[in-house]
Structure 1
C-alpha cells in the first residue's frame, strides 16, 4: 500500500460506528461517532474532508480500515470512492495485545484508532478490497447464498435419514443404490405419502406408481412401483401406533424442509449460471477441463475480475491455498499446507475442480499420476494440480485467451510390448 498522509479506521457496530483518523506519526487528528445511514456516512466523510486543507490530501486518498469485507457500511464507503481495507478481527486482537500486553482495556473509539494505526504501520501487508464489477459482486452474493442453501439441504438430509432409521428404516435403503438417494424427488414424494413403516406397508402398487409419476419419473414406473411395494411390505420392527403417527408427522415436516432447501439451492444455482454466462470472461473459465457453469460461477465470484488484484500466478495460487508455505525457526524448517491464510471457499472449489479434471483431461491425469509416483498423497497431488491449473487460468485471464491443452505436457507414451 502507498504511504499516505492520513489513515482512517472505523469500528462498526449494529447501531453506532466510531471513526478515527491518524497522521503519519500515529497521532489521532479527528474522531467521530456516526450512524450507518446515508447522512451518517456523509458526516463521517466530511470529517475526513475537513482535514484536507491542513494536510494537502483529498478525502478519497485516505484509506479506511474496518473489520468487515462486506455489508452496507462497506458498500456506502466504496460508493463514495473510499479505499476500504478489511482487517480480520483476530488480527486486531493481536495488535491490541502487542500494544498493551497486560492491559485488557477495550473501547470502540480505541479500536477505531488501532485500525487506523494498523494501516499506518503495516498497511503494505493488508490488501484493499478489489475493484470488481457489479455483476461479479452480484455473482458472489448468489454463489455464497447457493453454498449456504447446499449446507442447509445437507443438514435436512441427515436429519431426515436419522428420523427414518427410527420410524421407517426401509426408506433409508430404498434409494441408497441410486444417485441422489433421499435427495431424489421420487424419494421425497413417496416418503411424504407414507412416512412410517406401517403406512408404507399399506400402500398399493397404484399409489406408489402415482407418487413416482408426480415426482417426474417417466421410465420403468411399474417395475419401480413393484420393487418398492415388495420392500415396504417386508417385515420390520415398528413403534406403537400412536408413537409411529407422531414420528411420521416429524418426518413429513422434515421432507417439506428438505424439498424447500433443494428448490432453493437449484434456484440460486440457475440464477448464478445465468449471470455467469453474461460475463465476458465466462468462455475462458469454461474452456478449462472440469469447470462447468456452477464451478465457473463460484471461481469467478471468488477471484473477481479486477485485473490488478493478482500480479502473479503464485499470488493467485497462494490465495487459493494451493501453494505451501515454509515455517522456519532455528534449525527447524517445515514446508506446510496453507490452511488459514487462504480463501477457504476458493480452496474447496479448487479441490473439486482439480478432482473433476482428472477424468476430463489426460494431461491433468498424467500430472496427478506423476505427483503420486513422486510420493505425494492424494490431496497434496490435487493441490499441486490446482496450482498448475490456476497458473494457466491466470495467464489466460491476463491475455484474454481460452485454455489450450497443448500447453500442458503430454502424458508419456506406454512402452512397446
Structure 2
C-alpha cells in the first residue's frame, strides 16, 4: 500500500470497537464504531482504503481485528493500554476512560510519534514451521492417550492381567506382549520358564524377574473366553498397531522439532529455562513467536496467555475473575512450563507453595507462578539473552 499521512486508531473492545481516522494535518476525517464480526471488520478495512489509511494503532497485537488489518497490508502498531492511560492527560482528559477519545489518542500519537515505532509483523517462516510441528505433535499425543484409554477399557474386560504388568502401558515391551498374547487364553500357555524365554527374546530390560511378572498374571482376575474373547483379542491387536504407528509418527515429528528448534535464533533463550526440555521449550517459543512488537509489555503477554485475571467494573463495583478469553494453545504451553519448573527450580517451588499456603488451589497457584515466570521470560525474550539464575536474581525476587 502506498505511504500516506492518513492514520487510524482503534480502541479495541470485546463487542464494539471505536475507530478514528485522522488526516496528515491532525484533523478528524471520520469517527465510527465497528462491531466484532467478520462482515463489520471487512467494511472497516474498506473505509480505511477509501480514506487512504496506511497506518493503524491499536491496543493489542493479536486477535481477528489485527489479523484483518495485516491481511489488508496495513502497517499495524501496538500501543500498550497503560501508555494510552498516560497519554490521555496530554489531550486534556482527566484520565477517565472514553472509547472515542482513546481511538483519537491512538491515531494522533501514531501520527506524531509513529516514526519511532516498529510495525507489527508476522512471525518468521521458521517460527511458523516450528509452531505447526509442535501443535501436530500435541494432537498426536492426545490421540495416543485416547487410544490408550480404549485399550485399557478393552483389557479390563478381556485380559485384566495385562494391566500394570509393565511400568508403562505404551512401552515397546507392553505392546510386544499384547501383540503376542492378546487374550487371557493365549497368556495361559505361559509358565515362569516360558515367560522368561519370551522376555529375553523380546529384549526386556525392566529388571523385574519373570517369576514376579508371572505371579502378577496368575493373581489377576480371569479374563473372557470364547468368541467374545477372540473378538476382543482382535480389538487389542488393532489398538496396539494404532499406538505403535502413532508413537513412530510422534518420534519422527520430535526429530523435526529438534532440528527446527536448534536452528532457531531464540533457541538459547527458551532452552535455558529450568526443566524446559526440548519439546516444552520449543512449544513455548513457537506459541509466543518471534515478533517482539506483538507484546510490548509483559502484561500483554500474560493477558493473551491467560496468566493474569480479568477485571470487570460496573460503576463502583469491581470484580476480578478468571480470564476465559485468551490464546488456549499459548496458555497450555505457559502453564505446562510453569508446572514443570517448580520441580527443578527452588524459587518457582517457593512461589507455588506460598500460593498454596494462601489457600489457592493447584490450578490457581500454577497461574500465579506462570505470571511470575512471564515477567522473566518476556524480559529475556526482549533482551534476546538466555535465562540465568545468577543474572536474574533480582528480577525473580520482584516477580515473586
User: Quick one: which of 329, 334, 351 aligns to 1:345?
Assistant: 329
Give SS of 1:326's match: strand
1:20-31 mapped onto 2 (5 Å cutoff): 23-24=46-47
Instruction: Output aligned runs, 1:327-346, within 5 Å.
Output: 327-330=312-315, 332-338=317-323, 340-346=324-330
Q: Is structure 2 residue 160 aligned with structure 1 residue 173?
A: no
Hey, what's the Cα distance between the residues in 1 that align with 2:233 and 2:75?
52
* Corresponding position of 1:143: 134
Normalising to structure 2: TM-score of the pair?
A: 0.69
Q: Look up the match of 2:282.
A: 297
Structure 1 residue matching 2:292: 3-state secondary structure:
coil
The equivalent residue for 1:195 is: 182
Q: Which residue does the alignment assign to 2:144?
A: 153
Q: SS of the residue aligned with 1:24?
A: helix
**1:30-41 correspondence to structure 2 within 5 Å:** none
Query: What residue is the counterpart of 1:387 in the other structure?
Result: 371
Q: What is the alpha-carbon distance in structure 2 between the residues aligned to residue 255 and residue 154 of structure 1?
A: 12
Instruction: Please state how far the C-alpha of 1:373 moved relative to its aligned partner.
Output: 3.0
Moved more, 353-362 or 190-199: 353-362
Partner SS state of residue 237, structure 1: coil
Q: Deviations over 1:135-156 (max 9, x none)?
A: 1000011011001101110010
TM-aligned CA deviation for residue 376 of structure 1: 2.8
Choose which of 338, 343, 350 in structure 2 pairs with 1:359.
343
Note closer, same or farther for the CA distance 1:20–1:331 as it changes in structure 2 (3 Å cut).
closer
C-alpha displacement of 1:360: 1.2
The corresponding residue for 2:242 is 257
Task: Look up the match of 1:312.
Answer: 297
User: Secondary structure of 1:174's match?
Assistant: coil
Which 10-residue stretch deviates more, 348-357 or 145-154? 348-357
Distance 1:342 1:365 in 2: 25
Cα distance in 2 for residues equivalent to 1:368 and 1:402: 23
**Quick check: 1:275 aligned with 2:266?**
no
Q: Deviations over 1:265-296 (max 9, x none)?
A: 22222211221111111111111112111011
Aligned equivalent of 1:227, options 212, 218, 226: 212
Q: Deviations over 1:221-249 (max 9, x none)?
A: xx543333333344743433222111111
Q: Does 1:182 align with 2:169?
A: yes
- Normalised TM-score (structure 1): 0.67
Change (3 A) 1:208 1:135: farther
For 2:288 and 2:184, locate their aligned partners in 1 and report how far apart those are by CA, in whole Å.
Answer: 49
- 1:131 is the counterpart of 2:122: yes
Aligned CA RMSD, in angstroms, stands at 3.9
CA contact (8 A) 1:83 1:129 kept: no
* Aligned residue pairs, count: 323
| 2:73 matches 1:82 | yes
Q: Conserved in 1, the CA contact under 8 Å of 2:120 and 2:291?
A: no
Is 2:153 aligned against 1:162?
Answer: yes
CA shift in 2, pair 1:2/1:193, >3 Å: farther
Contact 1:366 1:411 in 2 (8 A): no
Unpaired segments ≥5 residues, structure 1: 13-18, 26-51, 86-120, 413-417
